[in-house]
Structure formats: structure tokens, C-alpha cells
Amino acid sequence: MESAARTTTTTTHIALVSIPAFSHQVSILEFAKRLLNLHNNTFNITCIIPTLNSSYNNIATKPFFDSLPPNIHCIFLPSVYFEDLNNNGVSVEIQIQLSVSRAMPSVRETLRSLFDATNNVVAIVADAMVPEALDFGKELGILSYIYFPCSTMLLSLCLHSSNLDEQVSCEYRDHPNLIEIPGCISIYGRDLPNSVQNRSSLEYKLFLQRCQRYRSAHDGILVNSFMELEEEATKAITQHAKGNGNCSYPPVYPIGPITHTGPSDPKSGCECLLWLDKQPPNSVLYVSFGSGGTLCQEQINELALGLELSRHKFLWVNLRAPNDRASATYFSDGGLVDDPLHFLPLGFIERTKGQGLVMCGWAPQVEVLGHKSIGAFLTHCGWNSVLESVVHGVPMMAWPLFAEQRTNAALVTDGLKVAVRPNVDTSGNSVVVKEEIVKLIKSLMEGLVGEEIRRRMKELQKFAECAVMKDGSSTRTICKLAHKWKSLGRP
């Protein structure tokens, strides 16, 4: 374990606790960077990160951590025992939850060491997957917050989960009516997160326990969204926070959009950026299923043929070997292969030469979405990707795979109306055929539907820009927190 002590001229120390998932690490550390930028580096921040394996020293992660400002220090804990969880029978959510729980003694020891070494830690901010860390804040007598890297809609669902559990007797996916979420659009039960789809499972029990801990986060929950994006959901939680007794919710602080601003590896993505430079404005469909998403072989074939038959230009990145498990590579950089011809339709690369580019490796998503040639984004609807799409004003084709991605897809499609979504059966697991893919691409890139979606997305982009301006809603919220924390620091 790295030493928690460090020499610094700053006066106020904040401790962060993340999880072994790069997307979560990026989100909470980008928040830390924004906090420092707004307050002239008057904070010292330590992020404690449990680890599972050595995959976090790969090409995608190392440049990000190497670029962190000197006031942010990361402590990577020794890997926990993980082999019994890393198999096809255990979901991503359970793997994260149980593995992080096993790391809690090390987290507690590190926090105590940090507190003793600096004598000036005033607050702990813990990722939403590790609410247990709030107990350590109470032990140390410091403020304790949850960092919620997902939507306010999902947070509202989490805070409402115990009520929902009592109201609905069947499996949510079998519920005949729409599920009501305070302050949000109503959605079908099949669009609730994977963790609630089997109510007799350990996964669901852990979800309910985690959500109950959120209610005890009395100092507040920092959510990576912004008022103008999810105003009604924020108001619903805030109104409930004013209640009395055990039924009240904690204060909620919308501090987003927090998105990836770190540099990309100079050797990663050069090919795709050079290719994009040669394409007409707004002409390319960007296709990415995130850092861990995988498709089955049949779906890869249908998607490839749909892209080809649409005759629209496309950039398909992070292509992985087929797998029937959507989250097969969530914890690693495995699954990437050197030659896409091994599992793409025969002749696809040759036939689409000039029309598209397929990459098996990482791509600099922020730079790609900000490129003038990008016209739309086929996305798995991870919240980081959704926010990046909003920040750059890029319309979406929502293609959720696992975790809370279907809930996000419902939000951007039916709530914000800035995305189209393939039709699937009630199980949500059917293969989307090439004809449906062609229809959606054309509607998004050519038709009146696409024009209206693009108009709405440009409006959201402006709201996102305003939220992070000097007097923007999210900037004011972060400053409010910062002033409170600095008032507790020692000179």
C-alpha cells in the first residue's frame, strides 16, 4: 500500500473512495479536478481505489492517472481475493459489490492513516457502490457524502426502492403497468436496472441494502447531473429531503456534467481522428459499446450488415470478440482481437472500405464526439457516454446492454427525446436485425425525426454549457460545498 502521508501547502483535505471500475474512477476524479480548478488548488485530495487485477495499468487508464494534478493523490489498495467471483455465473454488480466489501478493512485502515497523517481531513466522498465507507467518516467525525456517478432519475429510483418493493408484488419485468419514479418519466419494469430484475436474488438484496444506506447519507449526495437536465427529478428528491423522520431523503447536490477531460494516449486513436478529418461534417455515425460491452456473434453480424446497408459513414470502435454475456469484459481489457475479420461478416471490411472504419482498440471518445464530422452516436448508454454526448450536442441511438443502461436509454429516448432506440421484445435480449438498424440510422441521420432530435440536443448542449459557467447552477453547487469544507479546514 502506498503511504498516505504527503507534504502539501494546502489546508483542507478531502478523501475520495472509488471502486475497481475505470468509468467510476474517471467520474469522481474529474469532479476532484473541477473542484481544484474552481478554487485555485486550495484543496488536497486523496482518492482511495480498491483494485482487482493489473488491468488498470493498460493503455486506456495510465495516461489519465499520469495527468492528474499534483494536489490529487491516488492510493491503489492491494488486490482483493476475486477468483471465486470472476466467472460467468456472477453478475457485474455482485462482483463489484462483494469485491469492494472485501476491501473495506483496507479502506478503513488507509482513511485512518490519512486522517492521522494530515490531521486535516474534513470530508469523505464515497462512490455510490461503497456506501459502507460513510461509516468510516462517522468514526472520524468528518462530513460524509455519496458520489452518485449516474443520473438523478436513477438516484430517485434508488431512494424510492423500498416503497416500490412494497407496492409491486411480481417481478418488475412482468408488471403490467408502467413503474412510477418520483419526478421522472414512468418506465416499463424491463427498463429498470439489471440488479432489480430477479427479486429473489442476492443482487436485488444488495441493491436494496445499498439504497437504504443512501438514505442515511445525511450530509448529502453529489449527483453527476445538472438541474436543467433533470429538474423535476431533483425537485422531487429535494422536496422529500425536507420531510421529517426516517422517511426523509438526504440533500442532493447536482454537480454535473462531469465528463472526461484527461489527455488520451498519443498512440491511441490517431488513425480514427485522421480518418474523421477526411469526412464531411455531420456525416459519420460513431459506434461504441463502452469499456466493457460485448455482443453475441449473431448481433455483431446484424449490426455490421445494418451499418453497411445504411450507406452512411460509420466509425466502429472498441470492437470485441463475440460473447453471449453483455458485460463479459467489464473488469478487463480482454476480448480485444487484432483482426476483426475473425468475426465480422465475410467481406465486410472490403465492401465498406471508404464508407467506414472499424477499430478493435481504444478511441479517444471525447475528441471523437467533438469532431465536426460526427453526426450521431450509437451508444450503450453508460451515463458517462450520455453526458459526453450531451456536452458535444450529438444525437444518440440508444443500445443498452447491462446495469442501469436501459434506464438511461428510457430517459434519453422517452424523457429527453434526444435519441432513437431499437425495438426489442419484452425480454430485452433479442437480436436487433439489420433492417431495424438501417431504419434507425436513416431516421437519425436523414429524416425529420433526426432533425428534431438534433434541435433538442443542441438545446441541452447549451444548458450543459451554462451549468458549468462561472455563475452556472452546478458551479454554484460545487462552490457551496467547497466553502463549507474550507470553513472546517485548519489554517
Beta bridge partners of 147: 127, 222
User: Is 174 one of the catalytic residues?
Assistant: no
Q: What are phi and psi of 127, to 5 degrees?
A: -55, 150
CB contact set of 130 (below 8 Å; sequence gap of 6+): 17, 18, 19, 100, 104, 107
Quote the cell numbers at residue 224: 453527476
Alpha-carbon separation of residue 370 from 30, 297, 411 (angstroms)? 18, 31, 23
Instruction: Indicate which residue of 127, 191, 265, 333 is catalytic.
Output: 127
Can you point out the beta strands (E) in 336-406?
356-358, 374-379, 396-398
Does 24 participate in catalysis according to the annotation?
yes
* Three-state DSSP class for residue 75: strand
Distance of CA 340 to the CA centre of its chain: 27
Q: Which of 24, 160, 260, 380 is catalytic?
A: 24
- Alpha helices by DSSP H, listed for 257-296, are 270-277
Distance CA 81, CA 100 (A): 10
Question: What is the residue-wise DSSP string for 24-73?
Answer: HHHHHHHHHHHHHHHTTT-EEEEEEE--SSGGGGSTTTHHHHHTS-TTEE
Q: Cite the active site residues.
A: 24, 127
